[in-house]
Amino acid sequence: MNKKTLRLILGDQLNYEHSWVTEKPNSNITFVLMEIRQETDYATHHIQKVVGFFLAMRAYAQFLKSKNHKVIYLTLDNEKNEQTLSKNIKNLVETHKFEAFEYQLPDEYRLDIQLKQLCSELQNSGIETLNTDTQHFLTDRMYIRKFFEGKKTYLMESFYRKMRKEYNILMDESGKKPFSGKWNYDKENRKKYKGEIPLPMVKIFPKNVENIVEMLKTQKVKTIGTIEIDKFIWTISREEALELLEYFVNFCLPWFGTYQDAMTPNAWSLFHSRLSFAMNIKILHPLEVVKRVIDAWEERSEVIDLAQVEGFVRQIIGWREYMRGIYWDKMPHFADLNFFEHKNKLPKWYWTGNTQMNCLQHSIKQSLEYAYAHHIQRLMVTGSFALLAQTHPSEVDAWYLGIYIDAIEWVEITNTRGMSQFADGGIVGTKPYVGSANYMHKMSDYCTNCSYNRKLKYGEKACPFNSLYWFFYETHREKLAKTPRIGMMYRILDKMESNEKNKIFEQAEKYLKNIDKL
């Protein structure tokens, strides 16, 4: 390449094995990474999320330099930082006389539009532009649309099986049937944790982040959550991420599938890998993660059974890829969907955890402390209650996008507005995921010391989940009654005595009016 070229690396494009990085350094090519207010401010992020991104970006910049690539790195407090992607690129192009600009395709719709507009402006100024793939995902942006062409519903299981076949993962010798004859072990992955298996130590990577935290304060960046400045726990380099992967396969994988849906106030990580942040910023590739997990199973099949492995593989090559495909197929209108026409604000205690409901108190406070909660806490605790509380899906999106370290819009909005809130009317999920106290008690020990009584549907100490659960179904009867998977709920509801139903609905309306005091 002879033209003087500027190459952009976004904060979630830290692929250590991208062809841009592995190729021989070229004196005409300069990489740029930037910490900008455009990205810190488009949502109110958890402080650990902002710090995690900045640390990972800085580590990646150092890696590039160690490979003799030319790098421009703009810190948030750099006096030359214009704080937006477009302004910084145009300034750099002009200042350094770059003749070409290249970028990797972003995974967020808003950035895709912004970069296309930027390229149009640069081209009008005589600058050549080019984009390339991030070389991370197993499918291209529009794979889902093509795969489900002509189908009314996008069944994830069909997509998952296609991925298994295409990449020969857990398949028999023919490559057409699953190893062991079963595609899915989901029914075996729903066990409550009762302390029968000792929990592994939570593997962390402590580092001092005082300088970045002080910079954020000085720059007055608004954040949520807490952080220990001398013990930041998340992986921010490929070396650390690979170490965490090894820890997972050795100490967590043998019980991962069995307890992947379990919840307890006594542990925030259980047997989960906590690799999502490293994967979503592309430090780890999905296939290398899946391969290491399968290798561990083959090496230690006497202690790791197939159900543990399949449950993990399904999340990575099934659900993760599927959600990204839905995102690119349905955006931008997906972000405006509100099937139930819910209008309420998110309860104020979602930002503090100060609620008397033990399940929500623990899940939210854990999220504020660690910028993390596992998928069932997100779906069936905070997500389910937000849906029962008739919260506007945009309110829910903003909370999830901000509070979790692994939340990037392509994976967040499809899980929240789609799976969690059913605001898409069934594109992602086949039914709304709501639960009563019965589900909470079945999958956790949250109910044991709660201020509310899980057995009561109405009365002063009745668990809010119970009355809101039945009120939700009654309120949306017209839209949901014919949904195949929830017909039984309406049969149960219709068998209740009128007096009983009235008491339940009155309790629900009372709770909705006083939602911030629960």
pLDDT (tens digit per residue) in 203-247: 999 999 999 999 999 999 999 999 999 999 999 999 999 999 999
Q: What is the value of pTM for the model shown?
A: 0.95
Q: Which of 495, 136, 503 lies closest to 316, judged by CA?
A: 136
- Cβ distance 172 to 178 under 8 Å? yes
- Element holding 103 (H helix, E strand): strand 100-104
Would the CA dihedral through 193, 388, 463, 430 be positive or negative? negative
Residue 332 preceded by cis peptide, ω within 30: yes
- Cβ distance 408 to 12 under 8 Å? yes
CB count in 10 Å sphere of residue 366: 19
CB count in 10 Å sphere of residue 260: 21
What is the C-alpha separation between 409 and 110, in angstroms, rounded?
Answer: 9
CA angle, corner 208, sides to 368 and 12, nearest 5?
65
pLDDT of 1 reads 63
Select from 1.10.10.10, 1.10.150.20, 3.40.50.620, 4.10.140.10 the CATH code of 5-132: 3.40.50.620
Q: Which of 481, 385, 471 lies closest to 431, judged by CA?
A: 481
Distances (CA, A) of 368 to 47, 263, 391, 404, 464: 9, 17, 20, 9, 23
CB count in 10 Å sphere of residue 206: 10
DSSP 94: H
CATH for the stretch 143-328? 1.25.40.80
pLDDT of 140 reads 95
What is the C-alpha separation between 468 and 303, in angstroms, rounded?
Answer: 42
- The residues that bridge with 444 in the sheet, in sequence order, are 263
DSSP 430: S
Q: Per CATH, which fold does 348-517 belong to?
A: DNA Cyclobutane Dipyrimidine Photolyase, subunit A; domain 3 (1.10.579)
pLDDT of 153 reads 79
CA angle, corner 443, sides to 316 and 350, nearest 5?
80
Q: What is the mean pLDDT of each run of 10 residues along the chain (518 residues)?
A: 92 98 94 98 97 98 97 97 97 97 98 98 96 97 93 88 95 89 81 90 94 97 96 96 97 93 92 97 98 95 91 94 96 97 97 96 97 95 97 97 97 95 92 93 92 94 97 95 85 92 96 96
- Cβ distance 208 to 229 under 8 Å? yes
pLDDT of 434 reads 94
Residues with Cβ < 8 Å from 417, sequence gap 6 or more? 334, 335, 337, 393, 396, 397, 423, 424
CB count in 10 Å sphere of residue 418: 23
What is the C-alpha separation between 103 and 3, in angstroms, rounded?
Answer: 15
Distance of CA 411 to the CA centre of its chain: 5
DSSP per residue over 155-198, as a string? -HHHHHHHHHHHTT-SB-TTSSSBGGG-S--GGGS-PPP-S-SP
- Cβ distance 326 to 144 under 8 Å? yes
pLDDT of 486 reads 87
The burial class, CB within 10 Å (0-12 / 13-18 / 19+), for 460 is exposed
- Cβ distance 343 to 390 under 8 Å? yes
How does 114-126 read in b/e, with b if 16+ C-beta sit within 10 Å? bbeebbeebeeee
- Cβ distance 46 to 405 under 8 Å? yes
CATH 1.10.579.10 domain locations along the chain: 348-517
Reported for 423-426, long-range contacts at CB under 8 A and 24+ positions apart, including other chains, are 423/337, 423/338, 423/339, 423/340, 423/342, 423/393, 424/330, 424/334, 424/337, 424/339, 425/337, 425/339, 426/153, 426/339, 426/483
- Element holding 5 (H helix, E strand): strand 5-8
